[in-house]
Amino acid sequence: MTEPTAVAVLSGGTSLERDVSLRSGGRVADALADLGHHVTHLDVGADLVRTLEDGGFDTAFLALHGSAGEDGTVQSLLELIGLAYTGPDVLASSLAWNKPIAQGLFGRAGIDVPARVTLSQQAFRELGAAAAVDRIASVLGRPLVVKPARGGSSLGLSIVEDPAGLPQAIVGALSYADVVLMEEFIDGTEVAVTVLDGEALPPVEIQPKEGAYDFRARYTAGATEFHAPARLDPDVLAACRGVAVDAYTSVGARHISRADLIVDTDGRPWLLELDTCPGLTTTSLAPMAAAAADLSFASLCDRLVSLALRDATA
Amino acid sequence: MRLDTDPYLQRYADRVLGLSASEIRALFAVASRPEVVSFAGGMPATSALDMEAVEDVVATVVRDSGATALQYGGGQGRAELRECLVEVMAEEGVPAHADDLVVTVGGQQALELVAKCFLNAGDVVLSEGPTYVGGIGAMTSHQAEVRHVGMDADGMRIDLLEEELAKLAAEGRSAKYVYTIPNHQNPAGVSLSIPRRQRLAELAESHDLLILEDNPYGLLDFAGEVRPSLRSLIPDRVVYVGTMSKTFAPGVRTGWVAAPAPIRDKLVLLREAADLCQSNLTQMVVESWLTTQPWREQVKHFTTVYREKSEVMLAALADEMPEGVHWTTPLGAFYIWLTVPRGIDTSDLLAKAVRHRVAYVPGRGFYADGAGGNQARLCFSYPEIDRIHEGVSRLGEVLHEELELVRAVFGDDAPQLRPHTAANDHGVGG
């Protein structure tokens, strides 16, 4: 393991994913403390910069999900005050955070991404986008997926079967972000691939016991069945790993990311999104992938600390 | 390799299987941050307590009776405290003897014990709709089916209750009990009118009903009005629940249940199985508070504070809310019940509200059947006055914006924002 290090574990804050972040952060802090690191668990707020400047920390461990923590804001502050941190840098974070931009980049990199339509609140309020809503179902088919263009944990996501339900789903998603992303629904096996320092860990297959892999299915222990590695042909597994690494590379990520994929019935992986600060709760996917690679949760956290220190001195 | 995030799943009782993570609960984690003005939690203004008096009371209990205070107690609760609680009930004209009472861990434990005492899986309970989240939780955790009875400005509509009873009879079923919060109801903020209390009592007699009368707020009437309790009308048909959480402090976790003797005996046994006894320490603190301090003055002070806050919130709502939003006018306690135009979903909207740094409880939480999507509860008891102004102003902004957005997104289908039905003019129904 890494030499005992003074680590500030950052979690909480005021993002909509505060609750999940606190759970990730608590688990990380316990694991690192058990390894002998000097850990301070912080709920980020107005005193963050002062606390970090005065705290004598060697590195920050980012267990932040949602805005500020995942969109490059905190990363930018940490660079300004010269403190090493885990996870992708400012640019990679902000690229991945904006799902329409990230999907565009992935498409250009030759990764299969679902067909999509992006509309902002402004398009509806000022430019009469409502008149074009009927076209969405004809462009994307049905069912279709409606989600906020930013944020994770499936918050604000809905799967719309009947186009008559589309306006309500759009309004719902726009509660979470100012831009809504609508995608064609790809039927198949849901798979998450964690990339650790440029290398893909075993793909994890996600099978909710009922309905979609929504917030409830994500965070209720036992509500979803997972298999690692996913029960797919070896060449399909390899293709999934390849897509995850390509996605990591195309936004310029470092340390860790998690790619959420659907493998369609022909065995073709489609990239849905890339998470640059993946959840680390007891029901989260990245720790499962690590376990499947014989890397304990504590070792995964320790590895991330060592990567932060390595890149700070590089 | 199959990964189990809950290897204990096969072992759980059926009643646990419905318990799951929820987005709304996750958003409340943000609402607790100081940046957010929260109208969500129904928290009393404990800062309005005379803390020196509290300190004195606690110190005296420990100094004079420490060994007893830190010892186990009996399952029914201390007789001395029950005598005091009978006096508290007498303030509202609720008749009781100390022996009728079981002291509980807040009113919530009383609701839980009553549910455990009466409900088998699939049993029906009738309750106001909307109603207290914790009341629903107590009943549904015993797998009961909660059927709601609509309300208006005079509380539960007894004509609708009769309809529900007739429906049940037609199904060959009956209700195990009727759950009601007759005074300053949580969340609707309305009280059951006196004629309706009479009517409910008659109906209980004619239909052989048992009533669970939950009365946390009766003493918090802004005008000091006292309404006759159901227990005073039909004592043998009422299980009455009271609490010190709103008249003193929720931190002492002291409530009670007053019930006919056979039910009381069962409740004592159930409570002993659950947690043996109430903490002697907090019982003695409450006892001392009620016997040595001017607690009636404290309740009056609380009421003055809440009345002022309610007036501030009502005035702010009148200034800030867009057309088409309606709310109830409370005559006591903590709550205003808001109804927004259909097309706005208050569960979805909570995320936007939290982003604007204001929080409320979406209406769906107060129904067991998924109703209440265009309603919300605002609690004014806890935030300071200037924060109430700020919070309502933020909420007004959010609702104006959302109405505009709904109109823009629905386009020609905007009649979704249709006017309210007659039932909604009373400001409670869904």
pLDDT tens track for B153-211: 999 999 999 999 999 999 999 999 999 999 999 999 999 999 999 999 999 999 999 99
B22 contacts in A (CB within 8 Å)?
A: 215-216
CATH of the domain at A44: 3.40.50.20
Q: Which of A62, A74, A6, A23 is nearest to A218 (CA)?
A: A23
Residue A180: inside a domain: yes
pLDDT tens track for A107-138: 999 999 999 999 999 999 899 888 888 899 88
Residue A304: inside a domain: no
Residue A33: inside a domain: yes
Does residue A106 have a pLDDT over 60? Answer: yes
Task: Quote the pLDDT of residue B414.
Answer: 65
Task: Quote the pLDDT of residue B122.
Answer: 96
* Chain centroid, CA A185 distance in Å: 19
User: What is the rounded CA–CA span in Å between residue A75 and residue B378?
Assistant: 37
* Cβ atoms within 10 Å, residue A3: 10
Q: A59 to chain B nearest CA, in Å? A: 26
Q: Residues B37, B359: contact at Cβ < 8 Å?
A: yes
Q: Do B26 and A222 touch (CB under 8 A)?
A: no
Q: Do A168 and B352 touch (CB under 8 A)?
A: no
Q: Are residues A244 and A100 in the same domain?
A: yes
Q: Are residues A256 and A236 in the same domain?
A: yes
Query: CB distance from B323 to chain A under 8 Å?
Result: no
Q: Are residues A103 and A78 in the same domain?
A: no
pLDDT tens track for A18-74: 999 999 999 999 999 999 999 999 999 999 999 999 999 999 999 999 888 889 999
User: What is the rounded CA–CA span in Å between residue A207 and residue A227?
Assistant: 8
Q: Are residues A63 and A196 in the same domain?
A: no
Question: B234 vs B154, B198, B212, B260, B362, CA distance in Å?
Answer: 20, 10, 12, 11, 35
pLDDT tens track for B233-275: 999 999 999 999 999 999 999 999 999 999 999 999 999 999 9
User: What is the rounded CA–CA span in Å between residue B32 and residue B54?
Assistant: 26
pLDDT tens track for A206-223: 999 888 888 888 888 888
Q: Are residues A245 and A174 in the same domain?
A: no
Q: Are residues A286 and A221 in the same domain?
A: yes
CATH of the domain at A168: 3.30.1490.20
Task: Quote the pLDDT of residue B32.
Answer: 86
Q: A110 to chain B nearest CA, in Å? A: 31
User: What is the rounded CA–CA span in Å between residue A270 and residue A266?
Assistant: 11
Residue A307: inside a domain: no
Q: Do B20 and A223 touch (CB under 8 A)?
A: yes
Residue A220 has its nearest CB partner, among B20, B357, B410, at B20
Q: What phi, psi does A2 have (nearest 5°)?
A: -70, 150
Q: Are residues A106 and A209 in the same domain?
A: yes
Q: Do B22 and A216 touch (CB under 8 A)?
A: yes
List residues bridging with B379 in a β-sheet: B335
Does residue B426 have a pLDDT over 80? Answer: no
Q: Which distant-in-sequence residues (6+ apart) come within 8 Å of B55 by Cβ?
A: none
Residue A155 has its nearest CB partner, among B19, B23, B357, at B23
Residue A155 has its nearest CB partner, among B25, B351, B411, at B351
Task: Quote the pLDDT of residue A219.
Answer: 83
Residue-wise DSSP of A161-230 = SSGGGHHHHHHHHTTT-SEEEEEEPPPEEEEEEEEETTEEPPPEEEEESSS-S-HHHHHSTTSEEEESS-
Q: Do A19 and B410 touch (CB under 8 A)?
A: no
Q: Could you tell me which chain A residue has the CA closest to the CA of B405? A: A125
User: What is the rounded CA–CA span in Å between residue A261 and residue A274?
Assistant: 9
Q: A219 to chain B nearest CA, in Å? A: 6
Question: Which two tokens mark B147?
Answer: 């059927």
Q: Are residues A99 and A168 in the same domain?
A: no
Residue A156 has its nearest CB partner, among B351, B404, B410, at B351
Q: Do B21 and A218 touch (CB under 8 A)?
A: yes
- State the pLDDT confidence band at B352, using cuts at 50, 70 and 90: very high
Q: Which of B137, B127, B138, B235 is nearest to B182 (CA)?
A: B127
Q: Which distant-in-sequence residues (6+ apart) come within 8 Å of A81 by Cβ?
A: A49, A52, A53
User: What is the rounded CA–CA span in Å between residue A10 and residue A48?
Assistant: 9
Question: Which two tokens mark B373?
Answer: 């999507």
CATH of the domain at A230: 3.30.470.20
A147 contacts in B (CB within 8 Å)?
A: none
Q: Are residues A170 and A235 in the same domain?
A: no
Environment class of residue A220 by beta-carbon count within 10 Å: exposed (0-12), middle (13-18) or buried (19+)? middle
Q: Do A222 and B355 touch (CB under 8 A)?
A: no
pLDDT tens track for A222-250: 889 999 999 999 999 999 999 999 999 99
Q: Residues A99, A48: contact at Cβ < 8 Å?
A: no
* Chain centroid, CA B96 distance in Å: 23
Last residue of a domain, one of A153, A184, A215: A184
pLDDT tens track for B316-344: 999 999 999 999 999 999 999 999 998 89
Ramachandran assignment for B333, one of left (phi > 0), alpha (psi -120 to 50 degrees), beta (any other): left
Task: Quote the pLDDT of residue A313.
Answer: 65
Q: Which domain holds residue A73?
A: 6-86
Residue A301: inside a domain: no
Q: Could you tell me which chain B residue has the CA closest to the CA of A46? A: B35
Instruction: List the 5-64 stretch of B: residues with Cβ below 8 A of A.
Output: 5-6, 8-9, 19-23, 25-27, 29-30, 33, 35-36
Q: Residues B334, B306: contact at Cβ < 8 Å?
A: yes
